[in-house]
Structure 1
Amino acid sequence: MHNAEHFVPARYFAQLIDYLEAHGTPCRDALSAAQIRSLNDLQAKLTRGQIDTLLTEVARLTGRGDLGFELGRQIKLNSHDVVGYGLMSCATIDQALHFAARYYRLMMPLFTLRYQRRERVAEVLFQPVTAMASGTVSFYLEMLAVSAHMQLMALSQGRMGPYDIHMAMPEPEHVQRYRGLLPARLHFHEDGVPTVRIVMPTDLLDQPLPMHDQRAFRQAEARCKQMIQECRAPGEYRSWIEMMLREAHDCQPTLDEMARQLNVSARTLDRYLEQEGASYRELATRTRNERAKRLLGCGKYAVSEIAYQLGYSDVANFSRSFKRLNGVPPSAYRRCAAPEALRS
């Protein structure tokens, strides 16, 4: 979210260090280089800088390129603290994915998780919210993909049917390890923004989960709601809204949809934004227009494609809105922007 620091729960990296030391790799120097005194505190958090240094040092010590994959294997449902207990208590995979999407910030603040269910397939999308070094991105993508698979298998007690995991990264040297993640089918793509996209048939989503406990679920959700509110700094609602609007593809999220993700009413979220000197309408209009100008300026997409990416119902609506805000229609803006893009 802009330049705000992201603090990540240290418990995940404690699992990686425990694994490496149990397999003969002392990690004291790596922890020291990252200025990490201890990973024993379950509530401890790490900065991005500490994590980058730690990952660089353990990769150097081990000579391994599969540490993200390995950490993904080590992460269990109870690794996620109260969010994990909520997941374990869900009635179905569908409920678990909705729950994870609502409270993913408590698990991995560097990424968002979006869940969308359609008629025949459902999609889970992990996207970073901040810039990262390429090696760090690959580490996280592998960790997220593998841990998601392991936890889906744990929730269903191994009763998941075939589904697909798409990873926007080059195929790693240890790709053979992924062939053991049955029944998942892995696909690597080198184009596009760094994401993990999981696609599964909807008939997998509604099977009853054996660990369902409605009372435990309600208790976990109540605590998660409280924690979400506690972890938001002043001014962060506006930053989060802007980030979510920038990341939206093929849609324009509404105030109601954003509020549901935060587990507050639309009126409450509107009031929070007003306290920060902003309004949802203004943020949505400005962010959408900035995206439109950027996409037109790059010259890669037809105007109709851009309209669809921005969530407009048709090209005519997009053209009217763009001209109202910028004084010229999209096609004219593109002709003016193209020479400028070439000069830069």
Structure 2
Amino acid sequence: MSDFLLPVQYLRQIAEQLRAMGTDPAAWLARCEVEPRQLDDPDYQPGFALFSQLIEHALALTEEPALGLLVGERLVINTHGILGFAALQSESLRQAIQLVERYLAVRTTLVTLRHEHDEAAQREHIQFVASFPLGSIERTVLEAVMLAIKNVFDAITPANVCLSQVGFPFPAPCYADLANEMFGCPVAYDQPWAGFTIDSALLDLPLRMADPAAFREAESICQRELMKLGEKTSLSARVRRLMLEKQNGFPSLVVTARLFHMTPRTLHRHLLDEGTTFKQILKEVRHSLAVEHLKSGRLSVQEIACSLGYNDVANFRRAFKQWEGVPPSEYRPGRQ
């Protein structure tokens, strides 16, 4: 099974946004050979490549660069199923953040969350890390997902509790003022990571709708759903996702095996059974990330080589030429 998950309900929200903007959802779906009836099938699950095409075509049809924000605004807490219900019962913002960090995968595997505490500044950094090479849809996806999570926080916290800052790892768009308004706080661009900054003092304020018993029951359902997903997802897909989550320092075979409660030999054997190896997955992840970094233009070739774990930039150049047929300095996205 693919490690990409996005419930069809979210595709329906995109379709409704297109309809509200005067675009026929059927025409949008037809471009990707998707039938409208498939959006009514609760078990329908597109692959990541098809999802990317759907987002690209939605942007092209609407000619609305801020589509991600408009879709994100629609994604209120009750659109997130059991995860949204559990968040609504949280006793504190800290508990809600931990909940989303642990169980976001029951709603989507597009991104994962990391929570870091800045002791010196007394700030919390909630980072959104892409689990897939988003490429041309990065801005739209991050804006939609981050605004959706912001809506969850808004639903459970008092009106005066808000984010200190939102950051995105891409240049400011022409609609930056709209982003500031919709997030309700300053939005910074060209940042090293995507995410929120929150005052630490807000984390443990009691929430008005807290229901500890309901929270425990909802969290147990999230746990069961996550276990089911883990059983369906191939080991190679889980290893690939782990590498993408930790792309600033890929774990070794030994560390990866330990994280999956296996010996290195057992992990190697299972990957062979799935037709791949740890080295092959690492090479594929490096290739994918190298292309995405070059497309973004934010890092130099030397910086990309370093971020991908190459001690010698010459080794990276050789590897990239094997992947793409040209050295990284000559790579041009979309060339044939």
Measured in 1, the distance between the counterparts of 2:222 and 2:246 equals 24
Q: Secondary structure at the match of 2:187?
A: strand
Q: Any unmatched runs of 5+ in structure 1? A: 260-265, 311-321, 323-329
CA shift for structure 1 position 78: 1.4
CA shift for structure 1 position 16: 2.2
Q: Where does residue 116 of structure 1 map in the other structure?
A: 116
Identical counterparts, % of pairs: 19
CA shift for structure 1 position 14: 0.8
Q: Secondary structure at the match of 1:91?
A: coil
Q: Where does residue 224 of structure 2 map in the other structure?
A: 226
CA-to-partner distance for each residue in 1:199-224, whole Å, 9 max, x for gaps? Answer: 11211111111111112111111111
CA-to-partner distance for each residue in 1:79-124, whole Å, 9 max, x for gaps? Answer: 1111111111111111111110111112221211112234322111
Residues 207 and 274 (structure 1), Cα distance of their counterparts in 2 relative to 1, 3 Å cut: farther
CA-to-partner distance for each residue in 1:158-202, whole Å, 9 max, x for gaps? Answer: 23145111101121222121231364220011x75xx52211121
The correspondence of residues 305-324 of structure 1 with structure 2, limited to 5 A, is: none
Q: Where does residue 139 of structure 2 map in the other structure?
A: 138
Q: Where does residue 180 of structure 1 map in the other structure?
A: 181
Q: Where does residue 297 of structure 2 map in the other structure?
A: none
CA shift for structure 1 position 341: 8.2
Residues 156 and 336 (structure 1), Cα distance of their counterparts in 2 relative to 1, 3 Å cut: closer
User: Is the CA contact (8 Å cut-off) linking 1:237 and 1:273 kept in structure 2?
Assistant: no
Measured in 1, the distance between the counterparts of 2:21 and 2:40 equals 19
Q: Where does residue 63 of structure 1 map in the other structure?
A: 63
Q: Where does residue 32 of structure 1 map in the other structure?
A: 30
CA shift for structure 1 position 225: 1.1
Measured in 2, the distance between the counterparts of 1:64 and 1:87 equals 31
Which protein shows a greater Rg?
1
Measured in 2, the distance between the counterparts of 1:148 and 1:246 equals 21
CA shift for structure 1 position 74: 0.4
Measured in 1, the distance between the counterparts of 2:132 and 2:241 equals 9
Query: What is the TM-score with the length of structure 1 in the denominator?
Result: 0.71
Measured in 1, the distance between the counterparts of 2:8 and 2:269 equals 34
CA shift for structure 1 position 70: 0.3
Matched, 1:270 2:271: no
Residues 273 and 78 (structure 1), Cα distance of their counterparts in 2 relative to 1, 3 Å cut: farther
Q: Where does residue 129 of structure 1 map in the other structure?
A: 131
User: Is the CA contact (8 Å cut-off) linking 1:111 and 1:129 kept in structure 2?
Assistant: yes
Q: Where does residue 199 of structure 1 map in the other structure?
A: 197
User: Is the CA contact (8 Å cut-off) linking 1:237 and 1:272 kept in structure 2?
Assistant: no
Post-superposition, which runs of at least 4 consecutive aligned residues in structure 1 deviate over 3 A? 41-44, 233-239, 249-255, 271-279, 297-301, 333-344
Residues 182 and 6 (structure 1), Cα distance of their counterparts in 2 relative to 1, 3 Å cut: closer
Letter in 2 for 1:131: P
Measured in 1, the distance between the counterparts of 2:92 and 2:25 equals 39
With CA pairs under 8 Å and 6+ residues apart, which has the higher RCO, 1 or 2? 2
Residues 31 and 204 (structure 1), Cα distance of their counterparts in 2 relative to 1, 3 Å cut: same
Query: What is the TM-score with the length of structure 2 in the denominator?
Result: 0.72
The correspondence of residues 146-157 of structure 1 with structure 2, limited to 5 A, is: 146-157=147-158
CA-to-partner distance for each residue in 1:292-334, whole Å, 9 max, x for gaps? Answer: xx9xx96449xxxx7xx89xxxxxxxxxxx9xxxxxxx9xx64
User: Is the CA contact (8 Å cut-off) linking 1:149 and 1:184 kept in structure 2?
Assistant: no
Measured in 2, the distance between the counterparts of 1:227 and 1:273 equals 28
User: Is the CA contact (8 Å cut-off) linking 2:165 and 2:188 kept in structure 1?
Assistant: yes
Residues 342 and 220 (structure 1), Cα distance of their counterparts in 2 relative to 1, 3 Å cut: closer
Please give the root-mean-square deviation of Cα atoms over the aligned residues, in Å. Answer: 4.0
Q: Secondary structure at the match of 1:46?
A: coil
Measured in 2, the distance between the counterparts of 1:49 and 1:182 equals 29
Aligned length: 296
Measured in 1, the distance between the counterparts of 2:167 and 2:177 equals 16
Letter in 1 for 2:238: W
Residues 207 and 62 (structure 1), Cα distance of their counterparts in 2 relative to 1, 3 Å cut: same
Q: Where does residue 327 of structure 1 map in the other structure?
A: none
Letter in 1 for 2:36: R
